[in-house]
């Protein structure tokens, strides 16, 4: 079996470490080139990975010659170094030039819109740029696609994420997500708004152009009663049960709570219909739902394996809903270590 080489950029981050760990355990035919501006931080934990399958390299994205040299001949380049509006441009354009497939788990509108401007060049070069391959967008987008398959037409898409704010060490991703709560509720018809804080409102109308309404809300659990993240900042979708601070006064001792939900409104057999998909409630024994980094890493690992198996023959800028099949993605999640009971459930 010929090994396929994956280049991971930003490998020192917690999420990238989790992605690499899942790939190393789940796919024995991969060689991993782990790159970071601080390779010493990568070498500390890379020693426990399989010998002979891992190479650690220094990489400064501003050194284009070195960047092109590192990614040359790779099967896939995974960008985990942020912030994406500052880093993705270097790597995406280099991948187009080198004709190497690209994947990221970006969750911001600026990076998403910047990627879409590269679609003509990527198509001309025959290169796929897989964007938003994390939890939300990513797994959340797969829930939408899964739900739409039960409908004849789609009129409205609601997407929701919930993340706990009770852990002081939740990390920068948690704070970036929380900032989304304080932005305007993402309410996007087909004319996407540049100021939208969530990229799915930009990409979903490409997949479902008949949809007149894409609504995305996010919230912390429990609600903060002071500061900018107050209850009025984003309405909750009723299907997700959350606890208030009064119900859980000792919230610092509670496990991190995560949940993703997609609700699609349309018609079936000529009658109005609503289909809902969500991730199960997290708990201390969860694998992919025990932390934000874990949820993102498990989802990203599944998208990586799916891209290698099925997606790298495509071209252009591709959001998850553009190319990934939900059932194949759920299978890839299991390969990445997710328990089947953690992946998706329907709401009747």
160-197: pLDDT as tens digits = 877 654 444 444 444 444 444 433 444 444 333 334 46
Query: Which CA distances in Å does 237 have to 164, 311, 320?
Result: 16, 33, 23
In sequence order, what E strands does 201-290 have?
Answer: 213-221, 258-268, 271-278
Tell me the longest C-alpha to C-alpha distance in the chain.
61
In the prediction, which pLDDT does 232 show?
39
Tokens of 253: 């001792």
In the prediction, which pLDDT does 256 show?
55
In the prediction, which pLDDT does 83 show?
92
pTM value is 0.83
C-alpha–C-alpha distance, residues 335 and 256, integer Å: 24
Of 261, 344, 273, nearest to 302 (Cα)? 344
- Answer yes or no: are the C-beta atoms of 216 and 144 closer than 8 Å: no
C-alpha–C-alpha distance, residues 20 and 202, integer Å: 29
Query: Which CA distances in Å does 72 have to 7, 24, 64, 66, 337?
Result: 10, 21, 12, 10, 30
In the prediction, which pLDDT does 178 show?
45
Q: Please confirm whether the linkage preceding 83 is cis (ω < 30° from 0).
A: yes
The secondary element (H helix, E strand) that includes residue 16 is: helix 14-26
For the chain, which residues score pLDDT lower than 50?
A: 1, 165-196, 224-253
- Answer yes or no: are the C-beta atoms of 90 and 67 closer than 8 Å: yes
Q: What are phi and psi of 156, to 5 degrees?
A: -150, 145
Q: pLDDT (tens digit, 9 = 90+) per residue, 255-270? A: 556 688 999 999 999 9
Q: Please confirm whether the linkage preceding 222 is cis (ω < 30° from 0).
A: yes
């Amino acid at each position: 079996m010929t090994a396929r080489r994956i280049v991971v950029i930003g490998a020192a981050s917690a999420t990238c470490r989790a992605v690499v760990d899942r790939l190393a355990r789940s796919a024995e035919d991969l060689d991993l080139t782990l790159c970071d501006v601080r390779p010493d931080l990568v070498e500390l934990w890379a020693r426990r990975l399989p010998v002979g399958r891992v190479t650690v390299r220094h990489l400064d994205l501003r050194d284009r010659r070195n960047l092109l040299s590192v990614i040359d001949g790779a099967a896939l380049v995974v960008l985990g170094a942020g912030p994406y509006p500052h880093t993705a441009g270097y790597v995406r354009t280099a991948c187009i030039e080198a004709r190497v497939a690209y994947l990221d788990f970006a969750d911001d509108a600026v990076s998403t819109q910047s990627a879409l401007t590269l679609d003509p060049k990527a198509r001309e070069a025959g290169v796929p740029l897989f964007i938003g391959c994390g939890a939300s967008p990513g797994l959340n987008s797969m829930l939408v696609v899964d739900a739409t398959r039960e409908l004849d037409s789609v009129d409205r898409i609601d997407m929701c994420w919930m993340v706990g704010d009770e852990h002081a060490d939740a990390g920068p991703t948690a704070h970036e997500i929380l900032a989304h709560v304080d932005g305007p509720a993402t309410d996007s018809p087909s004319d996407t708004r540049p100021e939208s804080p969530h990229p799915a409102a930009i990409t979903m109308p490409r997949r479902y152009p008949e949809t007149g309404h894409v609504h995305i809300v996010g919230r912390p659990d429990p609600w903060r009663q002071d500061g900018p993240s107050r209850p009025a900042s984003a309405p909750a979708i009723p299907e997700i049960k959350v606890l208030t601070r009064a119900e859980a006064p000792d919230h610092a001792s509670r496990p991190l709570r995560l949940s993703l939900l997609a609700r699609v409104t349309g018609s079936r057999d000529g009658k109005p219909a609503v289909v809902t998909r969500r991730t199960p409630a997290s708990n201390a024994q969860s694998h992919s739902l025990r932390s934000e980094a874990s949820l993102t890493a498990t989802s990203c690992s599944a998208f990586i394996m799916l891209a290698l198996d099925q997606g790298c023959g495509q071209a252009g800028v591709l959001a998850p809903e553009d190319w990934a099949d939900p059932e194949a993605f759920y299978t890839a999640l299991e390969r990445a270590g997710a328990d089947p009971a953690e992946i998706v459930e329907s709401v009747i």
